[in-house]
Amino acid sequence: MRVFAAGLITETNTFAPWPTGLAGFSEEGPFHGDASTRGKDSMTGMLAALWHDLSRDAGFAFVESLFASAQPSGPAVQGVYEAFRDEILADLETKGPFDVVLLFLHGAMVSQACDDCEGDILARIREIVGPKAAIGAELDPHCHLTPLMIEKATAIVLMKEYPHTDYVERGRELFDICVGAARGTIKPVSRVFDCRMVGFYPTTTEPMRGLVDRMSAAEKRPKMLSVSFAHGFPWGDTPETGSKVLAISDGDAPLAELTAAEIGRAIYAERKALLPGFPRIDAALKIGAETNGCAVLADTADNAGGGAPSDNVALLKAMIEAKVERAVFGCVWDPVSVKVCAEAGVGATLPLRIGGKSGPASGEPLDVIATVRAFREAHDQMGLGPARSALGDSAWIEVAGIDVVLNSARSQVFAPDAFTGLGIELADKRIIALKSSWHFQAQFSKIADRIVAVATPGAIQMDFAGIDYKKKRDMDFFPRVADPLELD
Ligand SMILES: [Zn+2]
């Protein structure tokens, strides 16, 4: 058995102000065949290492190609996308033949000339390896699950959890399904149920928690191989944007179809309860003030992890105006101010204009008098699971008694060391305000007495009915339409 592995990942916010180019893919890698060793601290490298180890343990030959990932932003520069794609295809052609092709893709990557990069990659790979080879893709649940992807892949497995803490587990399942398919011991058959919804579905709270558990239970039934919920990525405008359920059975198409519909209808039945309904800034600050202990406030709409600039300071401004004490805010993506702070030096007090720089979604900048408390080159934080996540050169400044982190490598906040790594003490804080929509929960739930996802201004608005889609095919989706499947 010969196994080939590659990865190409970015989540495209088609409403974001800038393209995703080579610099975006260079913050972590790209790894040209050595992700499993050189990139082993990154999410992509962990998948490469997993598939390498599983292949080695089974006595298979293993060839590792490109693994590249970029922080979400606007559509990928066409030439950059094609160069990466063609590098994978060239390795596949020159180092083959292969029985199993394993891919770590996102599922919501859009380039300047292609709305479905993953479908494009899978179709070209199928062309090269032929109908007999097993092609498997692990995708992020924030994907646009397209008919082309389903047609060209042997099996697609999505992470089930949001925060995405289960990517290694899902990679292992994909390996087993694809090896079984290549050996001919199983015959994966995929069916998709379109929920006709656009939404945001954290899996740590009900009703989504129970629905994920129900998916896992359905996988244990005889002849079922995998059940996934494609949440969809609301801020990617493509013909196929939306929430769908994918079920894979062993050779039983009606069973796959029934299972996908059963889970899809169960999610659909909870659609109203699944709407975010986050409090606005003033209400959130009030909840924070009333919290006994530490409240974590999430600046959900300016999350770099969804392609937002991460430099909107509306929440910080409100915190200053409300005179909150023992508070921290971060990370504001502001490389210019970081440079100014580094130049001024630790201990300096100076006027700074922070945030509000990237575009309309960034809002107004904030003019402050700041004291530089610390500076760190190539700062980083714990990422999802055991992976690390780069924050770039970063500064800790104090503004009106609030500790603020400015950073240079655009990223959402995943873990407390985004703050403590600069020397900020979190133990005595009453408010930790951070830029992330949901991934932060994996680590911050350990120190928070209360977590409040806040309806802030920014590029990732949760008003799904109001998103200005131009390409999405089905516009009769919930919540634009109350009951698009006519099941009530
Ligand atoms: Zn995601």
Counting as low any pLDDT under 50, the low residues of the chain are: none
CATH topology (fold) of 2-269: Rossmann fold (3.40.50)
Residue 409, both tokens: 């490598």
Cβ neighbourhood burial of 277 (10 Å; 0-12, 13-18, 19+): exposed
Centre of ligand 1 from the C-alpha of residue 306, in Å: 8
| The predicted structure's pLDDT at residue 66 | 98
Q: Provide the residue ranges of all domains of the chain, joining segments of one domain with +.
A: 2-269, 281-461
Task: Convert the pLDDT of each residue in 291-319 to its tens digit.
Answer: 999 999 999 999 999 999 999 999 999 99
| The predicted structure's pLDDT at residue 76 | 98
Helices (H), 225-384: 253-269, 281-290, 314-321, 335-344
Centre of ligand 1 from the C-alpha of residue 141, in Å: 6
Centre of ligand 1 from the C-alpha of residue 163, in Å: 8
| The predicted structure's pLDDT at residue 466 | 84
Task: Convert the pLDDT of each residue in 187-244 to its tens digit.
Answer: 999 999 999 999 999 999 999 999 999 999 999 999 999 999 999 999 999 999 999 9
Residue type, 160: K
Return d(Cα 338, Cα 335) in angstroms, integer.
Answer: 5
Centre of ligand 1 from the C-alpha of residue 417, in Å: 21
Centre of ligand 1 from the C-alpha of residue 347, in Å: 39
* Cβ–Cβ under 8 Å, residues 327 and 418: no
The environment of the single-atom ion ligand 1, i.e. residues with CB closer than 5 A, is 140, 142
Centre of ligand 1 from the C-alpha of residue 140, in Å: 5
Centre of ligand 1 from the C-alpha of residue 295, in Å: 24
Centre of ligand 1 from the C-alpha of residue 57, in Å: 30
Decide: helix, strand or coil at residue 180.
helix
